[in-house]
Structure 1
């Protein structure tokens, strides 16, 4: 009997040694899949749901994230233009016509928010003040409401070509004058003030919602001095 047991023992041990590596090999792919799924889930949460706590600048930038441009002010005014047309034969001006036009024009002032990076924001935790530095306002091309214009024409005979030239010249002149008026210091001051108020409102409410309380928002343009605190 003792001799039989001695001869059987070596046949059992090798089978156990073969089964253990096989189980490990079968489990290894599942472990890799589980790790990959966990990594993908973490990256997705980090990209779409994670927000750093205690970052007021990040919360402020998030308020501007989906806005490339913000119209802050619109100015509507009337421009007066006047043109003269002379036509003749053999360099002799036989016909002269004159046309004056009063043309309404609209100009918009916009902020380019695509350049609002982190360097343009500064947070003071002691005074709970968020300082924002804005880029220079962009002025749109004047929009002439020629359908609502008023015209006054003088001349013994105004041909169709002369009328078309007078209208075209008046439109070009009105656009130049409107662009110059849009850069008037008084109008620019109104636009800049409106821009500051718009930015304050666009930031103060989101900051409150984010849990920072009644935050003070100070806004200035490039080149302006930092206000005294």
Structure 2
């Protein structure tokens, strides 16, 4: 009987301990579930990308940029002007001014023109072909504060000096604009643009799961390079 009594005493204790353990474990299960949910939402928001749309993945690299500066050229331009002032109708005051002016021009891509029609994806080769619009150049920036000025004349009036400087500035801007369109400088700018676009697009494609992805970049009017045979 004593043994039975002990069993009767133990059974209620066991039945009380089980629900107590469940009650204590519920908060921890909720915490673990919340952590797992937060981790999944973070992965979904920052790392997950829908497969099957590599062009869309590439477009994400450009959507927050209106333009992309790909190259900057700094050079010097020389401008020279002459001025003649008359005294009593006679052209007796002649003056000349030459200026060597530092100038800079930036080359930019207008990314607002980069629509899906400018991209083509080849699934088997994992190759993205991108066709870029022509580069745009900014207005030349003349650093006249650093210009070197040479003047020649027996007497240079204030008006003559002002006119000479204005004419030289206008002439320097025209020359800088012409220099920016030099074929050799444009070739350097286009090479820099292609490399910048490759780097901006290759990484998003690799993150999206296309580890062998390669990007081929051309400008309007250029032929797409042939795929190298292996």
* TM-score exceeds 0.5: yes
DSSP 3-state at the match of 1:67: coil
Which of 190, 200, 203 is 2:201 aligned to? 203
2:149 aligned with 1:147, yes or no?
no
Q: Does the Cα contact within 8 Å between 1:84 and 1:96 map onto a contact in 2?
A: yes
Gaps of 5+ in 2: 1-43
CA distance in structure 1 between the aligned counterparts of 2:176 and 2:66, rounded to whole angstroms: 26
1:169 aligns with 167
CA distance in 2, matches of 1:123, 1:89: 74
Q: Give the aligned partner of residue 217 of structure 2.
A: 219
5 Å-filtered alignment, 1:25-104, equals: 52-104=50-102
Rounded Cα–Cα distance in structure 1 between residues aligned with 2:188 and 2:211: 29
- CA separation in 2, counterparts of 1:78 and 1:220? 30
Partners of 1:204 and 1:214 within 8 A in 2: no
Judge conservation of contact 1:79–1:178 (CA < 8 Å) in 2: yes
Q: 1:106–1:144: 8 Å Cα contact kept in structure 2?
A: yes
State how far apart, in whole Å, the 2-side matches of 1:171 and 1:181 are: 15
1:183 — aligned with what?
Answer: 181
Are 2:77 and 2:176, in contact at CA under 8 Å, matched by a contact in 1? yes
Residue 130 (1) aligns with residue 128 (2): yes
TM-score, structure 2 normalization: 0.76
Distance 1:212 1:167 in 2: 58
Number of positions where the alignment pairs a residue of Structure 1 with one of Structure 2: 183
Separation in structure 1 between the aligned mates of residue 111 and residue 130 of structure 2, nearest angstrom: 12
Offset of residue 51 of structure 1: 5.3
Residue pair 2:105, 2:139 contacting (<8 A) in 1 also: yes
8 A contact 1:106–1:142 mirrored in 2: yes
1:167-201 CA distances to partner (integer Å, 9 max, x unpaired)?
11000000000000110111111101110000001
Q: Which runs of 5+ in 1 are unaligned?
A: 1-47
Name the residue aligned to 1:194: 192
- CA distance in structure 1 between the partners assigned to 2:69 and 2:189 by the alignment: 10
Q: CA RMSD in A?
A: 1.6
1:159 is matched with 157
TM-score (norm 1): 0.77
In 2, Cα distance between equivalents of 1:200 and 1:161: 54
